Amino acid sequence: MGSHRRSPASPRALTGQGARVTVLSAAFATAATTLAAAPAGAAPPDSPDRARAEVRRLYTEAERATQAYNGAGEKAKALRTALARTQDRMARTQDQVNALREALAPIAGAQYRSGGLDPALMLLLSADPDGYLDQATTLDRMGVVGGQRLRGLRHARRTLDQERREADALLGELERSRRTLARHKDTVRQRLARAKTLLAALPEGERALDARASRSGRPDPGLPLTGAAASPHAAAALATARTALGSPYVWGANGPSRFDCSGLVQWSYARAGVGLPRTSQAQAGAGRRIPLSEARPGDLVVYRADASHIGLYAGGGRVIHAPYPGAPVRYDPVGMMPISSVTRV
């Protein structure tokens, strides 16, 4: 018997004979395909204010690409899990085929010695076993047991062929996912490199990029300034996020010491015993939508129309989030940028 591949258990692993792969949300796909490339040779802005505005634009595009990168990474992980499981099934089916062929050999040999080529022997010697099996119409010469084994072999070989086709399809999809991952990684790096160049060109005293000054920075007047968390796990997630205050923003990171925006949310809730998706778009749909006026500590506040930024409502009209490169995990006013939704997990 051959050895079997074992695939690790995963809460997001794909299951089923067809190894169906989860499709990225329409919002994520739209955000991923509408990123505008900044011209490589673009002239630098002619004032510090315009330079900072351009840096903020580049950071926004980099964050969108980061969420696309995170989503592609999750898809690749699911594909690898599905492929490992399909390969494991292939190994088991191949063992079954080998065992059935070995069991049929003595029956075929005995009937050959008694005066004829038995269908099973022809099967074993055939250069096209599947073609022969499709044409074999009589199994009664082999007896009941032999006939059952031959039918079992035919079924096992067809199953093995189907599993091989599934594996080939998954390998192709995994390769496409790898190319998507690389494309989004390049986009992030290009935007961040351009932003770094612009900031470096500013006078030293002009290099600070303070989101509090650049955005509205005003809490929504309809928000309650105090209140208990909506649930024990929301309270635990918020408490965990507070332990990350001061940690650096690193795109694609989800803890325990570096974070991007959705990475901080996922890590905080995971430590509270709740599994959330990796991207801000998927996190926005991971619970129940509530009005902004009903936000309570631990709720998820989602920003921009494409849901490309996210934080945890901390109470007092503030959120805790991972803002952008160079800005550590911190509190900011909940109204720092346009809010698209609030989600209660």
Q: Which residues are catalytic?
A: 261, 309, 321
Contact 50, 158 (CB under 8 A): no
Asked if 77 contacts 12 with a C-beta cutoff of 8 angstroms, the reply is: yes
Please list the alpha-helical segments (H only) found in 202-229: 211-214
Q: Which two tokens stand for residue 303?
A: 């920003």
CB 96: neighbour CB atoms within 10 A? Answer: 18
Residue 190 burial (CB < 10 Å; 0-12/13-18/19+)?
middle
* Radius of gyration (C-alpha) of the chain in whole angstroms: 29
**Helical residues (DSSP H) of the chain, grouped into ranges:** 26-33, 48-113, 119-125, 129-135, 143-201, 211-214, 232-243, 261-271, 280-284
